Each structure stands twice: as C-alpha cells, then as structure tokens.
Amino acid sequence: MADEARGREVELDVLRIAHGGVAVAELDGRVVFVADSLPGERVLARITDDRHDRFWRADAVRVLEPSPDRVPHVWAAAAIDRDPAQRAGGAEFGHIAPARQRRLKTEVLRDALQRIGGLTAEQVAALDPAVAAVPGREDGIRSRTRVRLHVDRSGRVGPFAARSKRVVPVDDLPLAVEAAERLLPRRARGRELDLVASGSGAFAAGPRDARGPVVERVGEREFRLEALGFWQVHPAAPAVLTGAVRRAVDPALLDPDADNLDLYGGVGLLAAALAGDGDVRVTTVESEPRASAHAAANLADLPRARAVAARVDAFLTGEPVPRPGATVLLDPPRSGAGADVVAAIADARPAQVVYVACDPVALARDLGVFASRGWRPATLEAFDLFPNTHHLEAVARLVPDA
C-alpha cells in the first residue's frame, strides 16, 4: 500500500498545527503532515512521502473548505494555486491571517514546553507564553533586511522550494525590505546570493565576495560586523531582544561584580544589554573569531566588558565558570545549547540564567535538562520576529528551585 501512496491525492480534515510550519491530519489511522494548510480546513492534498509507517507527508493542492483565517498568500510565488514543486519556500505561513499565525506559534510553544520540556500544565499557565507582535507592518511583509537566495545551473535566482534543493526563480521578494528587494537580479553567478540592507547601505554579495564590515545601530549604540555576518533579520529585532533581555534579568539577582557571561555572544548585542551603562562586569564568548573581534571593538567603551573568542563548550570546561552569583545569558544557534553546555551552566549554580531561543523545540529540550538539574523557568516572553513563517523568538529567565 505504501508503494502506491506517493503522488495520490486525498481529501483531509486538518486538525491542528505541528512544529515546522505544517499542520496535522489523519488518514486511515495514520498521521499526515500537510503543508500549506491550517487547522479547521478540508483540503485536497497530494502525498509526497510515504516512507514511514507512523506518518506520511503531503502538500495541499486545493482548499475544499477554507478556514476563516485563510487569506490570499502574501507572496504569489508561494501561493496554493502553484504546483507544490514550484512554490517558493520561506513563507510557509503566508496564507494565514497574522493574528492566527501568532496563536498557532503560541500553541506550538506551549505544546513543546509540556511535551518536550516536561513542564506541567500549571507551570505553562503560570508562564503564560504568548507570541507577541513586534513593530512593523501587520501583514508581516517588508520584515527581512537579509535574504539568502540560491542560483540554479542556468543562473536563475530564487529561494528553494520547501523541503527541497530546487531553486524557484522569482521576480519579487515581498518579505524583504524594499532596499533589499531592489537588488534582486534576474540572473547571477555562483550558488548563493545574499541581499542585505544594512545600516551602511544595501548590497548583493556571494559568499566569496570581498566586502568590508557594515555598521548597525541599536538605540544610541553602533555595532560593527562582517558584511555577511550574523545579525537579526527583522528590522525591529535587535531593539526588541535588547529590551526583552533587560526585562528578563532580575536586578535583585544581578551582581555587577560577578563573572557575568554572555554565551554565543556574536558581535556583542546582548552583552551590551546586560552591561547597561558599563557598571556591570560581563564576558562575551563567541566561537567565530571575526565576530568576537568586532564584539571587543563594539564594547570597548564599556570598561568592564571583554570578549573571548572560544567555543562555548570549551570555554566552560577550560575555566571555573560560571561561578555562583553570576548572571548567565545565552543565545545559542537554532539547534540549542545542548545537554553538555546546559549541564555545565546549571551545575555551576549561577544566580540566574537568561536563555534567548529561536526554536521552541530546542528551547524546550534544553529547559528539560535544566529541570533535571534543579532549575525552573521564572519568566518567558515570545515574539513574532519571523512573520509569515513558523519561526519565533523566545526569552526565558531560569532560576534554581527553591
């Protein structure tokens, strides 16, 4: 039966949302993950993956009974009237009303905290996490200052189709800010092309293009970074996360003279938030040498801040840190900090930990490790910094169990 399923079109009632930008339906007792749909709809879907006994994957190809929260897709290149193989990836929630997008992301976050993080329903209710809107257009377009595109063998430029390495040529980028969209070429060389609208100006560059650093401004502070180095893509994100970190840190637990840490610190954005006016001692740790060098320069006016170029796991095992009384801030990559790093932090018993996460499942998994070592989340805020996608950003503060 499985050999005959791929390519078959079936009618499905969509039940709920899942992590990863897909919804959940059932067919003959089997879970089917359905792209380009949303809960409450009935869709005609094409089976795309039947290799697993417990679940299949499918793409919606026609909406039979739409949800009231379905809207015209913000990007025609990704709309359901296109064949799934030719739908642009990177805007998997673009057919959903923005308020419903945020509610769905909140559902995913809450489910992850309980199912993966091991929090009780009462603990989640006390945290009351809800993905909040951020400054910008309500429809979520013009929300990316950095866009990575791909180039096919004939030189055509576009994103990959969802869950594939197939380039979908496009002639517009509505999720990009206008300065970046204006740089979209018809054709290019190489395999990748980044369109960047920075505080120093807009440019298009391939991964091997030589280009000097750029400068971004957050409030009254400037941050210098490599032209294609990591920086938050939403125009409001640096300020939103700076504010969230400052709110998360409990001033009663912050010792300015402790060995406070900013792990996975990049070019120093969140270390600056922790340092305040410069009276707080903080070490920012970043494995990428150029980013760490920029962090040192960006924080040079803060006399009690320093930057260390090192892998976080090596740093934590190479020095007796973090020490009791410290505040530890960490902003790991999408995969999370991982059990070894979490264990090293938790077992050192700092005063508080502020965890910035861009993946709810990785966050929940790491919170579960913290919990196994006697830590609990005291606060949690979440933000819709990636509108029209399934991604979100969260900031949690953890404290030792009483």
Active-site residue list:
358
Nearest Cα neighbor of 18 from 92, 81, 124 is 92
H, E, C per residue of 264-281: CCCCCHHHHHHHCCCCCC
Q: Where are the beta strands (DSSP E) in 14-158?
A: 16-17, 23-27, 30-35, 42-49, 55-65, 131-132, 146-151, 157-158
Asked if residue 286 belongs to a known ligand binding site, the reply is yes
Nearest Cα neighbor of 385 from 182, 102, 147, 191 is 102
CB 23 within 8 A of CB 104: no
The pair of three-digit structure tokens given for residue 151, joined into one six-digit string? 């180039």
Determine the angle formed by the axes of helices 98-115 and 360-372, rounding to 10 degrees: 30
Asked if residue 123 belongs to a known ligand binding site, the reply is no
Among left, alpha and beta (phi > 0; psi -120 to 50; other), residue 222 is beta
Nearest Cα neighbor of 292 from 215, 232, 224, 394 is 224
The pair of three-digit structure tokens given for residue 167, joined into one six-digit string? 């380039």
Asked if residue 264 belongs to a known ligand binding site, the reply is yes
β-bridge partners, 197: 202
Phi then psi for 4, rounded to 5 degrees?
-95, -5
Asked if residue 355 belongs to a known ligand binding site, the reply is no
Please enumerate, by residue number, every residue annotated as part of a binding site.
232, 264, 286, 331
The annotated binding site for S-adenosyl-L-methionine is made up of 232, 264, 286, 331
